[in-house]
A and B are shown apart, each in its own frame.
Chain A
Amino acid sequence: MRQFEAEILDNRRVAESWRELSFAWDSDAESPEPGQFFTFRATSARDPLLRRPLAFSGFAADAGGAARASAIYQVRGQATRLLADLAPGARLDVIGPLGRPFPAPGAGERPFIAGGGIGLGPLLFLDARLRAALASPTLVLGFRNAAALPSIDLPRGTIVCTDDGSAGERGTPVDWIARNAPPSRDGAVRVYACGPGPMLAALASLAADRDWAGWFSAEQWMACGVGACMGCALPRADGKGYLRACADGPVFEAAEIAWGAER
């Protein structure tokens, strides 16, 4: 991990209240992996105070060594509103890469990638990586309705689900995977996911029923982002205390966490 001042390269609107940010990556920092995140500060004022975490949605380095990282974010509070106001050329205080990335699928495992909302960015990054590694992932993304679809080029073959059926398949990514993924023990499956707690809880239960490997990325409020403050704790599924989203995660094995539980 490294702290640096990043130059913003692009910060475009991709849907109502959603943006895609790209910034120059510091060549002295490690290259981010899918599932990892960075924290940023868009102001040096004392309010809003804390850094905000964002998961990477992509990373690319050119032949000359110049690299850019990107993230897809929802404008939903003071800090993201300030971020949305930054134009290309502006500077952003960045710390990253942080957290544990998604692990690669095991030999012979068929990867399904499911999510939506704030999970979109890291899942697109993972999908691109798995395609590049010829792992043939199935990407299943859920949205509220057709109007909520972002104006970004989704990879060919992406399954789009909407709650109201106004675009793609009706229902949630979990419904789609339950119907279309091979049944239990009929070929190994690994599900990757990032999204709202109830969705992760449903998918964790499906994965457990069908004996699939599952790796999910969690969301939690953070203060430090580096494992020191114990603020971003998530309850363990076995009831034995908590794990830190920032340093033990944000990617966890599906059975490790009581997803969607507040306790």
Chain B
Amino acid sequence: MRPSLSVRIGGLVLANPVGLASGTIGYGSEYEHLVGIDAVGALYTKAVTLEPREGNRVPRIVETPAGMLNSIGLANPGIEVFVADKLTELRKRRCAVIVNVAGSSEDEYARVVERIEEAAGPESRLPGAPDAGAGGTGVDGYEINVSCPNVCHGGLAFGTDPAQVERLTRAIRGRTRRPLIVKLTPNVTDIASIARAAEAGGADAVSCINTLVGMSIDVARRRPHLAMGTGGLSGPAVRPVGVACCFKASRAVGIPVVGLGGIMTADDALQYLLAGARAVQIGTGTFVDPHCASRVLAGIERWMEESGVARVEDIPLMLEE
């Protein structure tokens, strides 16, 4: 018998545990001609903000050992263009679509979610229905970005303070019935307390980790490689940090944890699942190999068959401690 790959996040049933991380896949169309995006469990969109954002000064990226630093600055066309253009594209997706939302104030986050709720209408998908994506509303849930290291206001300022995370989560919770995932930063002393705050505010899940604050300097020119000085570190270099954060967060809350950070292979993804994650996301790995997510998914399924694991949701219970 083939193992069961579906996982539940709040009321949402994902066909499999592998998702594509926000900021690495646009709104889906950029990679469409290269890979079958719909085979993943979920697509997490590029962050949407109330106003359009040009993004940060350039250069915005630099490669580092087994990783990369980025300082994109949440470049996006803003909520009105999202609603007018992107939502139509997203409605065609057959995988679950989780819209990543960012803002520089509680009010901004709330207004973005309100506008999407208004445009997308009520949830229409039947949880777990095969091909539930076709003809969907284009929005199956939200990932609340309280952890972007590359913007001055919002982002990290929210994600490092449990009280603010709880208040923001509650404010958004009051505006949607769709599943709510709060994306956490590893740039904190105690990620467990932030995860608990998100849960207390009504989140259906937390995802971790966003990027780690990092810096790289061009010695010959004696200046930072990135125009903004610092950026967010991602890629295989951060995986052990992500796995540890997932482990801590999953033991602090009762809601599911979605793990991400440096996943390139099925083994990497299984480390996150064993550490306590119910689902995972592939980010930088897609840049390196657009087929990364499908390889990871196939590898998870093979490992489950070989290990006699019937349900992917059982993997988080299997860690020997």
Contacts and interface: CB of A to CB of B under 8 A. Distances in A.
B291 A230 contact: no
Given A47-B66, A50-B68, A242-B54, A221 B59 contact: yes
A262 B54 contact: no
A225 B26 CA distance: 12
B25 interface: yes
B66 A220 contact: no
A131 interface: no
A46 B26 contact: no
B287 A223 contact: yes
Contacts of A223: 61, 68, 70, 284, 287
A220 B226 CA distance: 12
B68 A227 contact: no
Contact of A220 (B55, B58, B264, B287): B58
Contacts of A220: 58-59
Contacts of A240: 54
A224 interface: yes
Interface residues of A, number: 34
Interface string B71-83: 0100100000000
Given A2-B34, A235-B58, A50 B63 contact: yes
Classify chain B: how many residues form its interface, as a range. 35 or more
Contacts of A48: 63
A233 B55 CA distance: 9
B224 to A, nearest CB: 11
B222 to A, nearest CB: 15
B23 interface: yes
Contacts of B214: none
B291 A231 contact: no
B70 A229 contact: yes
Interface in A210-259: 220-235, 240-242, 247
B286 A231 contact: no
A224 B72 CA distance: 13
B160 to A, nearest CB: 25
Contacts of A263: 57-58, 227
B10 interface: no
A255 B289 CA distance: 34
Interface in A1-50: 1-3, 41, 46-50
B57 A1 contact: no
A242 B30 contact: no
A51 B289 CA distance: 8
Contact of B75 (A225, A242, A247): A242
Given A3-B291, A262-B227, A49 B235 contact: yes
A49 B233 CA distance: 13
B284 A49 contact: yes
B215 to A, nearest CB: 16
B311 to A, nearest CB: 30
B58 A233 contact: yes
A224 B58 contact: no
A60 to B, nearest CB: 25
A143 B72 CA distance: 34
Contact of B61 (A1, A227, A231, A234): A231
A95 interface: yes
B202 to A, nearest CB: 31
B34 A228 contact: no
A223 B284 CA distance: 8
Given A228-B30, A229-B72, A234-B58, 9 more contacts: A50-B63, A220-B58, A223-B70, A224-B30, A228-B46, A229-B61, A233-B75, A262-B58, A263-B57
User: Closest 3 A-B residue pairs measured CB to CB?
Assistant: A231-B61, A241-B54, A228-B30
23 contacts: A46-B66, A49-B63, A49-B67, A49-B68, A49-B236, A49-B284, A50-B68, A50-B287, A221-B59, A221-B61, A223-B70, A224-B24, A224-B287, A226-B30, A228-B25, A228-B30, A228-B286, A230-B55, A231-B60, A231-B70, A240-B54, A241-B54, A263-B58
